[in-house]
Protein backbone atom coordinates (compact mmCIF):
# COMPACT_ATOMS: atom_id res chain seq x y z
CA UNK A 1 0.00 0.00 0.00
CA UNK A 2 1.30 3.47 -0.86
CA UNK A 3 2.24 5.92 1.86
CA UNK A 4 -0.34 8.62 2.41
CA UNK A 5 0.29 12.21 3.39
CA UNK A 6 -2.45 13.93 5.37
CA UNK A 7 -2.76 17.48 4.02
CA UNK A 8 -6.09 18.13 5.74
CA UNK A 9 -4.34 19.40 8.89
CA UNK A 10 -2.68 22.26 6.98
CA UNK A 11 0.53 20.32 6.35
CA UNK A 12 2.44 20.79 3.14
CA UNK A 13 3.94 17.32 2.92
CA UNK A 14 7.40 18.60 3.95
CA UNK A 15 9.09 18.33 7.32
CA UNK A 16 9.86 22.04 7.61
CA UNK A 17 7.45 24.90 8.23
CA UNK A 18 6.19 26.77 5.17
CA UNK A 19 7.82 29.92 6.59
CA UNK A 20 11.24 28.25 6.30
CA UNK A 21 10.90 27.31 2.63
CA UNK A 22 12.95 29.38 0.17
CA UNK A 23 10.86 32.08 -1.46
CA UNK A 24 11.71 34.01 -4.61
CA UNK A 25 9.78 36.91 -6.10
CA UNK A 26 10.44 39.06 -9.13
CA UNK A 27 9.88 42.60 -7.91
CA UNK A 28 10.46 44.38 -11.24
CA UNK A 29 12.37 44.24 -14.52
CA UNK A 30 13.71 47.24 -16.43
CA UNK A 31 16.02 48.54 -19.14
CA UNK A 32 19.01 50.30 -17.59
CA UNK A 33 20.71 51.14 -20.90
CA UNK A 34 19.91 50.52 -24.55
CA UNK A 35 22.00 51.56 -27.53
CA UNK A 36 21.61 50.87 -31.24
CA UNK A 37 24.05 52.14 -33.82
CA UNK A 38 23.72 51.93 -37.59
CA UNK A 39 26.96 53.71 -38.54
CA UNK A 40 26.96 52.98 -42.27
CA UNK A 41 23.31 53.56 -43.17
CA UNK A 42 21.91 53.60 -45.76
CA UNK A 43 24.61 51.46 -47.44
CA UNK A 44 24.47 48.82 -44.69
CA UNK A 45 20.73 48.41 -45.27
CA UNK A 46 21.24 47.64 -48.97
CA UNK A 47 23.82 44.87 -48.56
CA UNK A 48 22.76 41.38 -49.69
CA UNK A 49 25.72 39.69 -48.00
CA UNK A 50 25.03 37.72 -44.82
CA UNK A 51 26.69 39.55 -41.88
CA UNK A 52 28.87 37.88 -39.25
CA UNK A 53 27.30 38.51 -35.86
CA UNK A 54 29.30 38.44 -32.64
CA UNK A 55 27.29 38.26 -29.42
CA UNK A 56 28.62 38.77 -25.90
CA UNK A 57 26.71 38.15 -22.69
CA UNK A 58 27.65 39.08 -19.13
CA UNK A 59 25.79 38.69 -15.83
CA UNK A 60 26.28 40.78 -12.73
CA UNK A 61 24.45 40.51 -9.42
CA UNK A 62 24.55 42.75 -6.39
CA UNK A 63 22.71 43.00 -3.10
CA UNK A 64 20.39 45.96 -2.75
CA UNK A 65 18.80 45.77 0.69
CA UNK A 66 18.63 42.79 3.03
CA UNK A 67 16.66 40.40 0.83
CA UNK A 68 16.62 42.29 -2.49
CA UNK A 69 19.13 41.59 -5.24
CA UNK A 70 19.64 43.31 -8.59
CA UNK A 71 20.66 41.03 -11.45
CA UNK A 72 22.01 42.70 -14.59
CA UNK A 73 22.13 40.99 -17.96
CA UNK A 74 24.38 42.77 -20.46
CA UNK A 75 24.01 41.68 -24.08
CA UNK A 76 25.97 43.21 -26.92
CA UNK A 77 25.87 42.20 -30.57
CA UNK A 78 27.84 43.49 -33.52
CA UNK A 79 27.03 42.64 -37.14
CA UNK A 80 29.87 42.98 -39.66
CA UNK A 81 29.68 42.59 -43.43
CA UNK A 82 33.17 42.31 -44.88
CA UNK A 83 35.07 45.09 -43.12
CA UNK A 84 31.99 47.24 -42.58
CA UNK A 85 29.95 47.38 -39.40
CA UNK A 86 26.28 46.91 -40.20
CA UNK A 87 24.97 47.53 -36.68
CA UNK A 88 25.88 47.43 -33.01
CA UNK A 89 23.29 46.88 -30.30
CA UNK A 90 23.92 46.91 -26.56
CA UNK A 91 21.42 46.26 -23.81
CA UNK A 92 21.79 46.37 -20.05
CA UNK A 93 18.63 44.76 -18.69
CA UNK A 94 18.03 44.19 -15.01
CA UNK A 95 15.63 42.59 -12.60
CA UNK A 96 15.07 43.04 -8.88
CA UNK A 97 14.55 39.76 -7.04
CA UNK A 98 13.28 39.37 -3.51
CA UNK A 99 14.75 36.31 -1.81
CA UNK A 100 13.77 34.91 1.56
CA UNK A 101 15.01 31.81 3.38
CA UNK A 102 17.49 31.02 0.62
CA UNK A 103 20.59 29.26 1.97
CA UNK A 104 23.78 31.27 1.54
CA UNK A 105 25.36 28.57 -0.66
CA UNK A 106 22.37 28.75 -3.06
CA UNK A 107 22.43 32.53 -3.51
CA UNK A 108 25.19 32.78 -6.12
CA UNK A 109 23.90 29.92 -8.32
CA UNK A 110 20.40 31.40 -8.24
CA UNK A 111 21.58 34.93 -9.03
CA UNK A 112 23.97 33.88 -11.83
CA UNK A 113 21.96 31.01 -13.38
CA UNK A 114 18.24 31.15 -12.61
CA UNK A 115 17.63 34.90 -12.38
CA UNK A 116 19.21 35.61 -15.82
CA UNK A 117 17.30 32.65 -17.25
CA UNK A 118 14.07 34.26 -16.02
CA UNK A 119 14.76 37.73 -17.48
CA UNK A 120 16.50 36.61 -20.70
CA UNK A 121 13.33 36.21 -22.83
CA UNK A 122 12.42 39.84 -22.15
CA UNK A 123 15.92 41.07 -23.01
CA UNK A 124 15.88 38.91 -26.15
CA UNK A 125 12.68 40.60 -27.34
CA UNK A 126 14.11 44.08 -26.73
CA UNK A 127 17.23 43.21 -28.78
CA UNK A 128 15.10 41.79 -31.61
CA UNK A 129 12.85 44.86 -31.65
CA UNK A 130 15.77 47.31 -31.58
CA UNK A 131 17.50 45.60 -34.52
CA UNK A 132 14.23 45.41 -36.46
CA UNK A 133 13.48 49.06 -35.75
CA UNK A 134 16.98 49.86 -37.05
CA UNK A 135 16.01 48.50 -40.46
CA UNK A 136 17.43 44.98 -40.25
CA UNK A 137 15.73 41.61 -39.81
CA UNK A 138 15.16 40.98 -36.08
CA UNK A 139 18.11 39.40 -34.29
CA UNK A 140 16.63 36.36 -32.55
CA UNK A 141 19.19 35.24 -29.99
CA UNK A 142 19.37 31.54 -29.21
CA UNK A 143 18.57 30.53 -25.63
CA UNK A 144 21.59 30.76 -23.36
CA UNK A 145 22.67 27.97 -21.01
CA UNK A 146 23.59 30.09 -18.00
CA UNK A 147 24.40 26.98 -15.96
CA UNK A 148 27.16 25.96 -18.41
CA UNK A 149 28.54 29.50 -18.44
CA UNK A 150 28.56 29.54 -14.64
CA UNK A 151 30.32 26.15 -14.45
CA UNK A 152 32.93 27.26 -17.01
CA UNK A 153 33.55 30.43 -15.01
CA UNK A 154 33.89 28.43 -11.79
CA UNK A 155 36.39 26.04 -13.42
CA UNK A 156 38.38 28.96 -14.85
CA UNK A 157 38.53 30.63 -11.44
CA UNK A 158 39.52 27.31 -9.83
CA UNK A 159 42.33 26.90 -12.35
CA UNK A 160 43.59 30.42 -11.65
CA UNK A 161 43.58 29.81 -7.91
CA UNK A 162 45.41 26.52 -8.39
CA UNK A 163 48.07 28.22 -10.51
CA UNK A 164 48.56 31.13 -8.15
Sign, Cα dihedral of 152, 99, 60, 116 = positive
Residue 73 included in any domain:
yes
In a domain, 54, yes or no: yes
Any domain includes 97: yes
Q: Which residues pair with 93 in a beta bridge?
A: 31, 73
Question: What is the residue-wise DSSP string for 121-155?
Answer: HHHHHHHHHHHHHTTS----PPP--HHHHHHHHHH
Instruction: Tell me the whole-structure pTM to 2 decimals.
Output: 0.80
Q: What is the CATH number of the domain that holds 101?
A: 3.10.420.10
Residue-wise pLDDT for 91-119, tens only, equals 999 999 999 888 888 889 999 999 999 99
Domain that holds residue 117: 21-137
- pLDDT tens, residue by residue, 21-52: 888 999 999 999 999 999 988 988 888 889 99
- Split into its structural domains, the chain has a count of 1
In a domain? residue 52: yes
Residue 6 lies in a domain: no
- Ramachandran class of 135: left when φ > 0, alpha when ψ lies in -120 to 50, beta otherwise: left
Q: Do you find a cis peptide bond into 42, omega within 30 degrees of 0?
A: yes
The verdict on residue 155 lying in a domain is no
Amino acid sequence: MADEIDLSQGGNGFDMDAGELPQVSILTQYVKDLSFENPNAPASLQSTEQPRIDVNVAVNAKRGSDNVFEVELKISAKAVTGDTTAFVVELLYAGLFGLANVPEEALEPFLIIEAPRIIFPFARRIIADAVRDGGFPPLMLDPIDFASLYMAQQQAQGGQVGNA
